[in-house]
Structures are given as C-alpha cells and as structure tokens.
Copies of this chain bind each other. A is one copy, B any other.
Amino acid sequence: MTDCSPTPISLAKLRLACGNCSLHELCLPVGIGLDDVDRLDRIVKRRRPSSRGDHVFRLGDEFRAVYAIRAGSVKTYTTTEGGGEQVTGFHLPGELIGLDAIHTGTHPSSAKVLETTSLCEIPFDHLEELSAVIPSLGRQLIRIMSREIHSDDELLTLLGKKSAEERLAALLISLSNRLQQRGFSAREFHLSMSRNDIGNYLGLAVETVSRLFTRFQQLGLVTANNKHIRIERLEDLRALATGSSSCQPRG
C-alpha cells in the first residue's frame, strides 16, 4: 500500500494536466486557489484520444459540455441547406470549442477531429455551478468568449476585404502565432487540414489555394511539401497578411 493513497489528486499531476490545455486559461491565471483547481479538475472528464474524422459533436446535438483541446486539432463547421459545408474555424491545443451552443442549448455547428486528438470534456452544468462558487472562474470564461468574439470579427475583415493572397498568408501567420504561443515552432509545422478545408474556410476555391501555395513557394516565402510547411520569410509573409505588402493597391 502506497503512502499517497489517501490523496486522490497530487498537485504535480494537476499541473501536468492543466499545463498545456485550455485549463491553462480557465484555471491557472490569477485568483484561483489550489483547492479551486482541485474542484475544477474533478468535473473535467479526460477522454481517450479521438482519431481523424471522429466527431466531437454534431450540428443539432444537445449541448452538454464544452471541450478543451489538449493535443491535436479540430475543425468546426456548419452545414447549409444545400448540404454544403462552411468551415468556421481550426482549433489548436489550448482552445475551447462548443461555446456557440450555450445560447440555444443545441449545437449550431459540428466539430471534427483533424488528426489524433486528446480532448477534455467539461460538463457545462457543473461548470456553471462551480462558477457560482468561484466567481473568477466565470469571469475567466467570459474573457475567453470575449476573445472569441474579437477573433471572429478579425476573420470577418479577412473575408470581407482581403485578396486571396492576403487570406492564405493571414491563415499561415495565425497558425504560426498560435503554435508559437503553445511552445511549438513558429516557422515549421504540419497542416492537419486539407486544401479543401483551407479553401472552404478562407472562402476560396481549392484550385486557388493550390496555386497560391505554388506562388508563395516561387516567391521564396514558404516551402510546402504536401502538409509540411516551413515559413522561410516570416516577416514578408506577415506583411502580405496585413495588407502592408509592397504591391499594395493604389500605392
């Protein structure tokens, strides 16, 4: 019999569990004591890894929980009447999905796993109860949702105003930034989504995405081997993404 049996959860284990996933944002920041972390940790269900193509939830599913991505990646999308898909986001480790379902109690979008992915399921009723006890938890959730709204607004600008070149550059820069924040390389990474998904997300035809990758490569901006991306000139690519490139309209 080991001497640690009376303690259900060790602190070291907690830190490990919360270090890299969305709990990093939900619980670790300011104002949450160790007891509270423990309480939060108890409501979180860790799932066994999902594999490519699995659904986390589907459009129309009853809303029960939000999901935090621990490792891997997920795409969210809606289905239009005609049966067409619109990809609304690519989600990396440390992000929460399912937030758009809170309002109606039914998921208005689907989420599909792009590669082998570990998820934490956070039952929403428990989260609400716990937020009532730990106000800073609710505040943190509100902050996360606020950021979501803001990033959606940025995406609107992307789709409303930017050229095809700028859109793809912006996506690559966004992925690069987010991966770097999570401790991965900013210049070299794996695109887990298909060209089809990319085009769909950016409002472009697949063929256009293909041509753009070719052009970017000819310009020496990136090296793209299939799904492996290496950004060669990050600042130039960033300039392209923000529209402040040399070939700007009307000088």
Contact = CB atoms under 8 A, between A and B. Distances in A.
Contact of A153 (B100, B104, B144, B203): B100
A154 B80 CA distance: 10
A147 B104 CA distance: 8
Nearest to A133: B135
- Interface size grouping (class) on chain A: 35 or more
A82 B155 CA distance: 17
Q: How many copies altogether?
A: 2
A243 interface: yes
A153 B243 contact: no
A78 B155 contact: no
27 contacts: A78-B154, A80-B157, A80-B161, A80-B242, A80-B243, A81-B244, A84-B161, A86-B156, A86-B157, A88-B157, A102-B142, A102-B143, A103-B150, A109-B153, A128-B139, A131-B135, A131-B138, A138-B138, A138-B142, A142-B145, A145-B146, A145-B149, A149-B152, A156-B156, A156-B159, A159-B159, A161-B203
3 closest A-B pairs (Cβ-Cβ)?
Answer: A160-B203, A102-B146, A159-B159
